[in-house]
């Protein structure tokens, strides 16, 4: 797995996750972030390999490496079952979000970034969505500080039901409740749909509640990462009250 860009690489090094090696651009201008990366890498005995910008451009997947690329293992090395087992017995404050579908990697990265900032414990992706350098870059390093799992939706929802985790769909339906009028505390799982596909009836039927955002404009939907962010921060607000 490649982690590209100064902020994402700094967050990777701060997380303590194993880094195989760092590619650093030749004759790169030394600034605070580059100095921090070099200092942390040397302290952890991480090999630093100097490369030309042309070579880094060839290695890069994002096109925005900023002169630094880290090579590391996959984002999470424990299963969701292990995560739940480790979390068992803690306060009634487990916060999860499932991204049902997404075509644009920047939306996934933005949701991961917000989830980490809002104090969520994990982001869950369907098996067909893999973490990529683009998603990690869009998360600005947040992916290094939050659990990320791949789980098939319906078996995952069954597991959440068994664990007494409240399932909350984010969707505009006849049965939706305004998000500010909904109780979003306790162990909770949010499900957000894709950019242009709503949650199906088979999914909403599995939800304990379905919440919606008020809309007064002519456009009938928000960007999925914006909608997810609003609901996640409402969860945080209610949790802290």
Task: State the average pLDDT over residues 127-136.
Answer: 92
Number of domains in the chain: 2
Q: What's the pTM value of the predicted model, to 2 decimals?
A: 0.88
pLDDT-derived band at 241 (thresholds 50, 70, 90) equals confident
Domain of 7: which CATH number? 3.30.1330.30
Asked if residue 154 and residue 115 are part of one domain, the reply reads yes
Residues 6 or more apart from 72 whose CB is under 8 A from it? 1, 2, 3, 12, 17, 18, 19, 20
Domain span at 173 = 80-240
Which pLDDT tens digit goes with each residue over 137-163? 999 989 999 999 999 999 999 999 999
Pick from 72, 99, 127: which residue ends a domain? 72
Whole-angstrom Cα distance, residue 167 to residue 7? Answer: 33
Asked if residue 60 and residue 94 are part of one domain, the reply reads no
Contacts by 216-223, CB closer than 8 A, 24 or more apart:
220/172, 221/172, 223/107, 223/195
pLDDT-derived band at 72 (thresholds 50, 70, 90) equals confident
User: Which residue intervals of the chain are DSSP H helices?
Assistant: 6-15, 32-43, 53-59, 80-87, 105-117, 133-138, 153-162, 201-204, 224-240
Pick from 29, 46, 72: which residue ends a domain? 72
pLDDT-derived band at 220 (thresholds 50, 70, 90) equals low
State the number of CA atoms in the 13 A half-sphere of 10 facing the CB: 12
CB atoms within 10 A of CB 237: 12
Which pLDDT tens digit goes with each residue over 94-107? 999 999 988 899 99
């Amino acid at each position: 797995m490649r982690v590209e860009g100064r902020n994402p690489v700094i967050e990777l090094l701060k997380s303590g996750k194993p880094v195989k090696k760092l590619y650093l651009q030749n004759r790169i201008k030394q600034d605070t972030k580059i100095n921090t990366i070099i200092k942390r890498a040397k302290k952890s005995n991480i090999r630093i390999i100097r490369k030309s910008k042309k070579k880094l451009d060839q290695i890069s997947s994002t096109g925005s490496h900023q002169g630094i690329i880290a090579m590391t293992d996959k984002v999470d090395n424990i299963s969701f079952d292990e995560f739940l087992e480790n979390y068992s017995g803690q306060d009634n404050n487990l916060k999860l979000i499932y991204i049902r579908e997404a075509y644009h990697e920047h939306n996934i990265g933005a949701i991961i970034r917000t989830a980490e900032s809002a104090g969520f414990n994990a982001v869950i992706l369907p098996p067909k969505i893999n973490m990529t350098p683009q998603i990690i870059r869009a998360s600005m390093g947040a992916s290094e500080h939050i659990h990320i799992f791949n789980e098939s939706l319906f078996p995952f929802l069954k597991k959440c039901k068994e664990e007494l985790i409240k399932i909350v769909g984010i969707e505009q339906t006849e049965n939706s409740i305004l998000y500010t009028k909904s109780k979003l505390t306790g162990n909770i799982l949010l499900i957000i749909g894709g950019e242009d596909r709503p949650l199906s009836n088979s999914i909403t039927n599995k939800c304990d509640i379905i919440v919606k955002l008020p809309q007064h404009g002519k456009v009938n939907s928000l960007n999925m990462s914006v909608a997810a962010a609003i609901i996640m921060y409402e969860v945080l607000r209610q949790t802290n009250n």
